[in-house]
Structures are given as structure tokens and as C-alpha cells.
Amino acid sequence: MSILRQKRWLEWPTLALYFFTYFIYALTTIYAQFLPSALVIILLAVLLTLHSSLQHETIHILEPRWPILSILLAFPALGMAVPYSRFRDLHLAHHVNEQLTDPFDDPETGYYEITNWNKFPNFIKIILKFNNTLIGRIMIGPLVGMINFINSDLNFIIKGNKQVLYGWLLFVPALIIVLFWLYYFGSVKIWEYALAAYGALSILKIRTFIEHRAHELTSARSVIVNDRGILSLLFLNNNYHVVHHSHPYIPWYNLPSVFELNKKKFLKSNDNYYYKNYFIVFKKYLLVKKEKLIHPYWNLQNRANPIRQEESN
């Protein structure tokens, strides 16, 4: 059977990874008092990163088939930052491929519309330009992202969007579950968990930093980072991003093989937006901006039919 069409009756690799993640999380939080703080922070950061990647997998693979089980697995707010239901809604909106990188309609865009950009104070522009380097994205990216995310959702709630409000209300019990566990069973210090949670968001920013670019062709906006190391594992192979956007129903463990079997096709469709591994990404962009922050095609005048924007930032 073709990998593109293959479906397991029971998605045991993903379920097994979920249970493994929760099991190691339980052990780490329970026995944290016996471990060096540095090790606790590293272990938790890795586990929270993996849990976020599993939530992403749940949206595409588990929830369409087993909604109740999936929500139970993904619901606990281990990362203490993003409500699962809001992540799901925003990410599914992001999967409208024609809108990828659109500063108006893609909730995961990294670009700004030129008129809005010009309204920013200079100190905000400086912060955002630093955030446009990989070191900046790792250091302040989680903070910048959360401020934008919360501000956007607050505006939705103020305007009467009940779906967004319910998403945040559901976040309360999702947090209580984790806080209950940590208070009654865990021995993690507050500052250790806070650093681990921030560290997990920083790790995830490595993936999101590179995964999309502005391009006239929709299919050329998603990257391939042909890496099979620790970062690829923590991202559940979402670094094969053009494969994921082309076939979002393909589970994480099949993405590399689908790419290898159709390598020429994918590289042609994404106009060779390709990196051999994350070492190359770090070497190229650690201190250098990836792209201009002003979107080169979309602006207030041409939202329906974007054209190249010549202004620079």
C-alpha cells in the first residue's frame, strides 16, 4: 500500500509516544528534588517541546479519527502558555495554503504589512529585527510571540468572539490539571519549570523560524530541512514541512520516507527551499536576518490579488 494512502487502524506509534512522554514527565517532576536543576530544566524543556509536537500531530492525525481520546491526550497544558483549542483553530487556519505567510489571514505569519509596519515606534522595529535573526528568535521569540498572540485574542474577545473566549476558559482546567499534579506529586521548583517552559518555546522557534518564506508560488513557501537528528525528533519530522503542507494527514514517522520517495517532485514544487540540516540553518542565520519583515506581495491595497511590494525595511 502506498505510504500516501496508508492508515493504521490504531495509531500506536503516536499513542505510544504520548504515553512515553507523560511517563517520563511524571518521573521527572516527581523526582526533580533528587536531580540537578540544570538536568531538570533540560529534561522538562525536551518533554514540553515533544508534547507540543504531539499536540500538533493530534490535530491532523488523531482528532479526526478519535476526537474524545485525542482531546484527553492533548488537553493538559504542560507548556502553560497556549490553550490547545486555540492552537488547533489557529493552526488549521494556517493550513489554508493559499494564505501562507499572508500578514492578514495566516495566523502563523512572520511578516508585516508595510503600512502597519511604518506605524511601529523605532524601538519596536529594533526588537522585531533582532527577532528576525535565529539567535533573537530563540532568545526573545517566545516573549514576542506570546505578546502578539494574547493581544490578538484579547481583541477578538473584546469584539465578542465566543469561540476564542471559550478556548481560554477551557485553558483554566487544562492548567489546573498540571498545577494539581505539580503541587501534590511534583518536586519541581517554580523557576525550574518556568525556564523549562520558556526553553521549550525557544526550541520550537527554531523550527518555525525557517519553515515558511514569502514566495509567489504557494507550493514554494514551505521548507525542507533534511535533518534526522534530535531536533527532527522533537519536531516529529515537521521539518519536512512542504510534505506536511502537501499531505497533512501523513503521520510524523512517514514524512521523511515520503520525501525521499518523491524528492525531485517536492524540491521542484517548493523551488528548492531546502537545507541539508539544522547546523546549516544555524550557520547561516544565527546572527543574520532571514528575510525582510515587510511582506513583498501583500499590502492593504491588494489583499485579494497580492503583487510584489518593492519597499524595503
297 within domain boundaries: no
How buried is residue 76: exposed, middle or buried, by Cβ count under 10 Å (0-12/13-18/19+)?
A: buried
pLDDT at 311 over 50: no
125 within domain boundaries: yes
How many angstroms separate the CA atoms of 166 and 153, rounded? 11
How many angstroms separate the CA atoms of 291 and 295, rounded? 9
The confidence score (pLDDT) of residue 93 equals 94
The confidence score (pLDDT) of residue 312 equals 40
1 within domain boundaries: no
Give me the percent of the chain exceeding a pLDDT of 70: 94
User: Where are the extended beta strands (E) located within the chain?
Assistant: 224-225, 274-275
3-state helix, strand, coil in the chain (%, to 5): 60, 5, 35
Q: How far is CA 235 from the centre of its chain?
A: 9
7 within domain boundaries: no
250 within domain boundaries: yes
69 within domain boundaries: yes
pLDDT at 28 over 70: yes
**The whole model's pTM is what?**
0.93
Instruction: Tell me the residue range of the domain where 199 lies.
Output: 14-285
310 within domain boundaries: no
The confidence score (pLDDT) of residue 313 equals 45
Averaged confidence pLDDT in the chain: 93
pLDDT tens track for 100-136: 999 989 999 999 999 999 999 999 999 999 999 999 9
pLDDT tens track for 45-54: 999 999 999 9
Give me the percent of the chain exceeding a pLDDT of 90: 88
pLDDT tens track for 167-176: 999 999 999 9
User: Cα dihedral sign for 10, 12, 18, 22?
Assistant: positive
Mean of the pLDDT values across residues 171-188? 97
pLDDT at 247 over 80: yes
Which residue did the predictor score with more confidence, 64 or 223? 223
3 within domain boundaries: no
The confidence score (pLDDT) of residue 276 equals 97
Structural domain count, the chain: 1
The confidence score (pLDDT) of residue 301 equals 74
C-alpha pair distances (Å), 300 with each of 108, 267, 303, 305: 18, 32, 6, 11
The confidence score (pLDDT) of residue 282 equals 98
pLDDT at 310 over 80: no
Residues 6+ apart with CB under 8 A from 249: 60, 61, 64
